[in-house]
Structure 1
């Protein structure tokens, strides 16, 4: 069953307090005339169709959650698909979803789940234990032609390897006990296993739809990303069914057979507005009901106009990636010089929402493993020049990749952040080559696959309350984004993730934080605060620091008749 309260409890409780918006000034209604008795039954009226339109900063990259990891793709798939577990909105703990209860066995190597009865996928396929195993086996056996090196795959980040490297994989099979009982096996204990199952990447797809739409064959394109036919039309058990998607727009309809709360929205649309000004204008003119993210330059305008602005507590990190496949960046003095040249405080105050804190480490302070003794490399332009002069750097051109036409929850104004950092690095003596790539034209692929990116602007939004979620994906195994191969760090992360919660595990992650700060494989900049804007039509919104925001939970103001 769910574990005791997690370190995310206070984060989510604050988010709930912010999202509970009370609307005042409702006009009193006049009394209705008396209704005369009638022998004719009143006709049953269908609920009034309710369209809700939400603005986003970029297009999704696809809709197969096993193969995408960007916020906007997950924003869609969270509405359509569900996993065995979800996040408790009050405590942040794993909570029942498609599984109603679970037990741990064999000293943490077996987890048996009781499944929710009577649930159907949107295509009519029955949800059962066989469907769960079909999904887990698909993820485990996914071919290289589909997953690439798998570095961006959540399955690899949690289980470490696929079936073609079974020796190094933590996954040890899925067993059907009965139609409504399934057991997942691990080769070694994984302390964050249950929280990791709340990730949208582990949402359960209809096995019928996966097969019919050749989910492992990437022969289609969406937003410049190779996808399968299934990746263009996901089929899950969620409160909304997928209708259609095109550049700039995704439409979903309420699932009339949903097992849980159906909500007020009958048609849900996500519309892309790449520029902050166009998102703001759309809200002001009433063509959208809300948008995410709010940029710092629009925050004051929204507040002055009386719009609702809800701020999420920080549970993400924005960083500068350093690719050690570029030979000169293997020199730690060069990496230290880069860190010393960047004024994090200026970036936080100028390009992020007020209250955003600078950081010298990747694990947020609300999680165990945050090390108060880690100060990192302070901003010191002269020290940057001195380090560079003592290093092996000889003026080599360093391609610096950054996204354009995008606003991320962890990076609301990437072009401005890039310009500031590039100016500071140039002053320190670096030869910086700007490489702007539109987000929807393959930015994520460009910086997470082998290439010539020396530096890159990136971020990570935490999905569950475990320190491994922040250091494991980036540093737990070699990957093309950072091009690093640090067996000692990898070994420490592998050991820490299997340790039981307690002082020893805290100390292990504190040591990991210290080593990352010392070796500088990437430079954490800030823990950003993100915000959304809502129209007066919205009474409350399920704000979540881990972005577990499902729109059947949106409460709308009920129209009144005078």
Structure 2
């Protein structure tokens, strides 16, 4: 019988966990001392790892929970290095090219097709695939996993997983097995981009989950992915080994070790000392010296935006002229050059350049302090005003928020707007943001966001969205988002988002600042990695040596 789960899972953040701070020579020396002391207890290299082994210094403070979708508890970094390595979804992003925005391609589903009104999708499953424990991948395994995510009447339902699934599963009405290698998923309404939203819905071995239980499976995960779980020491490391029987071919690298190193100073020191051979998010000030020392410093555009979300329920941000004025008052290029050292690019509108919806017409802002002052005067604030900004001190995709917001504070002061910066811990901010609140009822909040899953457009700007923290509302924009769910052609749907972005440019619900370029640094011994235009990364085609 079809499952009718009626999921209403809480949407949770999915952004790569990154912590960046500018650091001093003293900080670097302390970090090196810390690494030397930790090596006495067994570092990545001293433990005998070597040869064809990739050792990644993550920004996360711990290894993510290893159970399928729960890996996103450490943001998109958790999905990048755990979810996408241990598991597969029905679909996935093509991460093999650096010069193209990744498209959705088959993964555990070989193909899919919707009905005429895009409310029912049939997925043909890939034959001959087995989980790491030998359990066959088939429709029964798919239904078991969907029950864990969605079916509140099933004994296999897992509430925490349901909540973590968030946007990717909200809107699925029912699903059922057609035959051993075919399933059908029905939705509450048209859902043209369902295959994209399913890319982060991962599948675990029913045999292992039943044997270990939810908590046990989180410590001994079993998927179908390119790497198999080997060992875990919480707070220190996770080891994965190549899956010799991976359906798409054995990975070229033999072993992947994840090391949580949240402090950027310590991450860079670990790279320089050879303790790791890959780090996420180098401190921008270190980029020139890392390049000169022969390390591979990689960047690429991806679907990321770093805005201030205005609280439009409060004056003066209920006035569009004020909101637009601030967008003309900030020097984005100077921020990119002087603070971020080229690891980001100016955001002149609401669509990142690495989003399929981007068109040059979407870039609507620039740097013109005189225009900013004129708009403020027209709005009745010739002498400016005072405002508060809630911002995270670190966290997923937030780059270096304190120096960045301090620079913006200086720019805005030049046009008469005095900004009181109110730092808050990242997790605490998200607790408020994802129930639609701005911490401390501030006038604006700074946060890292994305449109990688198309449903995020409506999440950030839809009138009826529970996480539209700024309380922006425009019926024209709502209509474009509703129409997008009914349009099967990707280019036509992207055009609708571009139209929405141009309306957003006129309404100015955010102060748009920069788009991150996803910097990471690899040792010279790492070969064959492609830096995609994505939050995610394909580790299967690289080697070390």
Q: TM-score, normalised by structure 2?
A: 0.75
Partner Cα separation in structure 2 for residue 261 and residue 148 of structure 1: 29
Note if contact 1:326-1:452 (Cα within 8 Å) is conserved in structure 2: no
Quote how far apart the aligned CAs of 1:230 are. Answer: 5.8
Quote how far apart the aligned CAs of 1:392 are. Answer: 8.1
Partner Cα separation in structure 1 for residue 226 and residue 522 of structure 2: 21
1:445 to 431, 437, 441: 431
Change (3 A) 1:510 1:542: closer
**Residue equivalent to 1:360:** 348
Partner Cα separation in structure 1 for residue 478 and residue 162 of structure 2: 17
**Residue equivalent to 2:198:** 197
**Residue equivalent to 1:370:** 358
**Residue equivalent to 1:100:** 110
**Residue equivalent to 1:456:** 445
2:264 to 276, 280, 284: 276
Is residue 2:131 matched to residue 1:121?
yes
**Residue equivalent to 2:79:** 74
Partner Cα separation in structure 1 for residue 479 and residue 504 of structure 2: 13
2:504 to 510, 516, 536: 516
**Residue equivalent to 2:460:** 474
Quote how far apart the aligned CAs of 1:232 are. Answer: 6.1
**Residue equivalent to 2:55:** 53
Is residue 2:517 matched to residue 1:529?
yes
SS at match of 2:122: strand
Change (3 A) 1:240 1:284: same
- Superposed CA deviations along residues 73-94 of structure 1, whole A, max 9, x for unmatched, are 1122111111012233247333
1:124-135 → structure 2 map (5 Å cutoff): 125-135=135-145
- Superposed CA deviations along residues 214-254 of structure 1, whole A, max 9, x for unmatched, are 75xxxxxxxxxxxx776666542212234325235433344
Change (3 A) 1:361 1:136: farther
SS at match of 1:474: helix
1:15-30 → structure 2 map (5 Å cutoff): none
Change (3 A) 1:425 1:154: farther
Quote how far apart the aligned CAs of 1:304 are. Answer: 1.0
SS at match of 2:447: strand
1:307 to 267, 275, 295: 295
1:193-232 → structure 2 map (5 Å cutoff): 193-198=194-199, 200=200, 202-207=201-206
Partner Cα separation in structure 1 for residue 311 and residue 159 of structure 2: 24
**Residue equivalent to 1:41:** none
RMSD: 3.7
**Unpaired runs of at least 5, structure 2:** 1-48
Partner Cα separation in structure 2 for residue 443 and residue 63 of structure 1: 24
Note if contact 1:294-1:530 (Cα within 8 Å) is conserved in structure 2: no
How many corresponding residue pairs? 478
**Residue equivalent to 2:3:** none
SS at match of 2:393: strand
Quote how far apart the aligned CAs of 1:512 are. Answer: 0.4
Q: TM-score, normalised by structure 1?
A: 0.73
Partner Cα separation in structure 1 for residue 510 and residue 251 of structure 2: 43
